[in-house]
Amino acid sequence: MERIPILRMGDYLIVTIQVDMHDRVVTTLQDDLTSMIAANGSHGVLIDISCLDIVDSFVGRMIGNIAAMSHVLDAETVVVGMRPAVAITLVELGLSLTGVRTALNVEKGMALLRAATRGRLLEDGDGRDQE
Ligand X SMILES: Nc1ncnc2c1ncn2[C@@H]1O[C@H](COP(=O)(O)OP(=O)(O)OP(=O)(O)O)[C@@H](O)[C@H]1O
Q: Which residues bind another protein (CB under 8 A)?
A: 20-24, 53-58, 60-61, 83, 85-86, 88-89, 92-95
- Residues numbered 41 to 70 that lie near ligand X (CB under 6 A) are 57-58
CA distance 69 to 67: 6
| Smallest distance, another protein to C-beta of residue 14, A | 24
The residue among 61 and 114 lying less far from another protein, judged by its C-beta, is 61
Beta pairing class for 76-80 and 44-48: parallel
| Smallest distance, another protein to C-beta of residue 111, A | 28
C-alpha dihedral over 6, 78, 63, 2, to 10 degrees?
A: -20
**Which partner in ligand X, another protein, none is near 54 (CB below 5 to 8 A by kind)?**
another protein
Rounded to 10°, the helix 23-40/57-72 angle is 10
